[in-house]
Amino acid sequence: MFQEPASSHAEQALQIIYDRSSTRAYCYEDLSRDTVQSLLEAGVRAPTALHQEPWSFVVIQDRELLRRISDAAKPLFLRQMERVSVPRDTTVYAYSDPHFNIFYDAGVLIVVCADPSLPFIEADCWLAAENIMLAACAMGLGSCAIGSALPALNLPEIKRDLDIPAPMSAVAALIVGIPKAKEAPTSRNPPRILSWKMPQTA
């Protein structure tokens, strides 16, 4: 029968998973190209359906460009939330504040792109994004998935600005940077198990 490994390697890997949290406050300090490259190298080690490796990446470290994308994203996201009747007392309505930056002043936005005609690209791209976020945690960096940026990132004019080919789509987006403070991971409910099928015993 399988026995859990007792190595410190396994313990460290699990600890990184448990320690990862979404960071929403960053120091005004840029990451080096080598650091970002290391994160991307971790990203492409993600599982990939049919070994397609469909992902391509856009890295944005231009803070003025990040602000413009944030300003374009906020009204699109608010309209999206209104269509699904999100209560107005929730935090999404920070998006109506003209000073609110959806990227929380982080210095790096990584956009994972793929050809939407390929199968399983959403799973593959978000798996790559999760690898990047876990690698960031291991390196002492903060990260946060910013799904609300995707409608703006897929606008034709923004895709042109970011050199995203017209047939491709932005599938996942995440910010990375140096956190202002260590944030404790948020709690999670226990796994909801709908069923657990075991072999019948005689």
122, with CB counted inside 10 A (0-12, 13-18, 19+), is middle
Do 162 and 168 contact (CB within 8 A), yes or no?
A: no
pLDDT tens-digit profile, the chain (202 residues):
445 555 788 899 999 999 999 999 999 999 999 999 999 999 999 999 999 999 999 999 999 999 999 999 999 999 888 887 666 655 677 899 999 999 999 999 999 999 999 999 999 999 999 999 999 999 999 999 999 999 999 999 999 999 999 999 999 999 999 999 888 888 999 999 999 999 988 6
Q: What angle separates helix 121-138 from helix 8-19, to the nearest 10 degrees? A: 110
Structure tokens, 16? 């990184």
Residue 151 is predicted with a pLDDT of: 97
Domain borders along the chain are 23-62+104-177
CATH 3.40.640.10 fits 23-62+104-177, yes or no: no
Q: What is the pLDDT of residues 71-106, one digit of tens each?
A: 999 999 998 888 876 666 556 778 999 999 999 999
Do 105 and 28 contact (CB within 8 A), yes or no?
A: yes
SS3 state of residue 177: strand
- Token look-up 């190595």 returns 7
Residue 2 is predicted with a pLDDT of: 45
- Its pTM stands at 0.91
The helix, strand and coil proportions of the chain, stated in percent and rounded to the nearest 5, come to: 40, 15, 45
